[in-house]
Amino acid sequence: MKHVIKLDNQESVAPLTTDLDGWKVVDGHPTMKTWVLYTSHDGSMISGYWEATPGTYHATYSGYEFVHFIAGKLTITPDGGTPVHIGPGDAFVVEAGFKGTWKIEETVRKHFDIKKK
């Protein structure tokens, strides 16, 4: 198992509390926290978890993200597309270049893996 990295206690990592690059509030007063638990040696991959309170963001993605949704309710609507409802236990991918809204209906928490361009 020489290629397996065990992550330290999640709660001991201080969260980032600023809005992510490419995310703009469009409704309400949502806040977010991001715990980055792993960054690859070349900086092209990060993993961690994210939490946000109710409200709506318009998000623009420059990288690819895999998400395992842990808690809360969320509706993601691609610009010009069909809404997708997300709940606990769901897993999904957001492709690089995505633009659309994340309407957070109940406080959400997700694990993420982001591959930067």
CATH number, residue 47: 2.60.120.10
Q: Which of these, 52, 58, 105, 63, lies nearest to 80 by C-alpha position?
A: 58
Number of alpha carbons in the 13 Å side-chain half-sphere of residue 89: 0
**Which domain range does residue 21 map to?**
16-115
Has residue 75 been placed in a domain? yes
Q: Give the count of domains, the chain.
A: 1
pLDDT tens column, 3-57: 555 555 555 678 889 988 899 999 999 999 999 999 999 999 999 999 999 999 9
Q: Give backbone dihedrals phi and psi of 69, rounded to 5 degrees, phi first.
A: -85, 130
pTM above 0.85, yes or no: yes
Q: Find the helix or strand (DSSP H, E) in which 38 lies.
A: strand 32-39
